[in-house]
Amino acid sequence: MSTDRISQALQDFVPDAYQGSDEYLDIITWNVRFFNDLDPERVRIVRQIFEELNADIFVLQEVAEGSLDGIADELTQRGAGFYETIYGLSGGDIRVAFLYDTEWVRATTEPEELFAEDSPTVQVGRVRKPVFPRYPLQTRFVALSAPGSPEPPFDFHLVGVHLKSQRDSRRGHRSEEQRTAAAKLLAEWLQNEAVDEDVIIAGDWNASPFQSEWEVLRNLEAAGQLRFANWNHDSEGSHFFSSGYSSRLDFIAVTSQVQGVETLQERSKVINWNLLLENGVSQSLREQLRSKISDHLPVLTRFYFTESDRDEEVVEPPSESVEFPSVAVLGSVKIVAANVNPAGKEAGHETVTLLNLSPDTVDLSGWGIRDRLGRQHSIEDLTVPGGETVQVVLKARTAQLSNRGGSIILVNDRDDEVHSVTYTGQQASKQGWSIAF
Three-class SS of 264-320 = CCCCCEECCCCCCCCCCCCHHHHHHHHHHCCCECCEEEEEECCCCCCCCCCCCCCCC
pLDDT at 295: 86
Residue 115 pLDDT exceeds 50: yes
In 143-222, where does DSSP find H-type helix?
A: 167-170, 176-188, 215-222
Q: Is the distance from CB of 328 to CB of 418 less than 8 angstroms? A: no
Which of 73-82, 181-190, 227-236, 399-408 is the least confident region?
227-236
Read off the pLDDT of each residue in 257-275 and give the average, rounded to a whole number.
50
Read off the pLDDT of each residue in 188-214 and give the average, rounded to a whole number.
89
Percent above pLDDT 90 for the chain = 37
Residue 307 pLDDT exceeds 50: no
Read off the pLDDT of each residue in 176-203 and give the average, rounded to a whole number.
91
Which of 40-49, 132-141, 163-172, 224-233 is the least confident region?
163-172
Maximum average pLDDT range among 11-25, 258-272, 351-365: 351-365
Q: What is the end-to-end Cα distance of the chain in Å, rounded?
A: 42
Read off the pLDDT of each residue in 308-315 and give the average, rounded to a whole number.
36
> 135 vs 387, which has greater pLDDT?
135
Residue 384, amino acid: V
Task: Report the distance separating Cα 100 and Cα 199, nearest Å.
Answer: 17
Read off the pLDDT of each residue in 218-222 and give the average, rounded to a whole number.
89
Count Cβ atoms below 10 Å from residue 422 Cβ, excluding itself: 14
| Predicted model pTM | 0.68
Please state the φ and ψ torsions of residue 326, each to the nearest 5 degrees.
-60, 145
Nearest to 231 by CA among 206, 210, 247: 210
Residue 86 pairs in a beta bridge with 98
Residue 421 pairs in a beta bridge with 408
The number of residues in the chain equals 437
159 three-class SS: strand
Task: Report the distance separating Cα 197 and Cα 111, nearest Å.
Answer: 16
Angle between helices 176-188 and 215-222 (to 10 degrees): 40
Task: Report the distance separating Cα 65 and Cα 179, nearest Å.
Answer: 24
For 18-85, the DSSP string reads GS--TTEEEEEEEEEEEE-SS-HHHHHHHHHHHHHH--SEEEEEEE-TTTTHHHHHHHHHTTS--EEE
Read off the pLDDT of each residue in 262-288 and give the average, rounded to a whole number.
51
pLDDT band at 4 (very low <50, low <70, confident <90, very high): very low
Maximum average pLDDT range among 69-83, 225-239, 285-299: 69-83
Residue 391 pairs in a beta bridge with 353
pLDDT at 357: 86
Which of 89-103, 231-245, 397-411 is the least confident region?
231-245
Alpha-carbon separation of residue 42 from 27, 64, 298 (angstroms) = 23, 14, 16
Residue 217 pLDDT exceeds 90: yes
Q: Is the distance from CB of 129 to CB of 97 less than 8 angstroms? A: no
Read off the pLDDT of each residue in 105-115 and give the average, rounded to a whole number.
94
> 230 vs 34, which has greater pLDDT?
34
Residue 137 pairs in a beta bridge with 113, 160
Residue 30 pLDDT exceeds 80: yes
**Interstrand relation of 57-63 and 95-101 (parallel, antiparallel or unpaired):** antiparallel
Task: Report the distance separating Cα 37 and Cα 341, nearest Å.
Answer: 29
Mean pLDDT of the chain: 79
The contacts of residue 67 (CB under 8 Å, 6+ apart) are 35, 36, 37
Q: Is the distance from CB of 183 to CB of 216 less than 8 angstroms? A: yes
Task: Report the distance separating Cα 330 and Cα 62, nearest Å.
Answer: 54
Helix (H) or strand (E) holding 8: helix 5-10
Q: Is the distance from CB of 10 to CB of 2 less than 8 angstroms? A: no
Tens of pLDDT, residue by residue over 408-432, are 999 888 888 888 898 988 888 888 9
Percent above pLDDT 70 for the chain = 74
Residue 277 pLDDT exceeds 70: no
Which of 108-117, 409-418, 428-437 is the least confident region?
409-418
Read off the pLDDT of each residue in 63-73 and give the average, rounded to a whole number.
95
pLDDT at 322: 39
pLDDT at 63: 97
Which of 145-154, 304-313, 411-420 is the least confident region?
304-313
Residue 179 pLDDT exceeds 90: yes
Q: Is the distance from CB of 142 to CB of 185 less than 8 angstroms? A: no
Question: For 108-217, where are the E strands, in sequence order?
Answer: 112-113, 121-124, 127-130, 137-143, 154-162, 199-204
Residue 38 pLDDT exceeds 90: yes
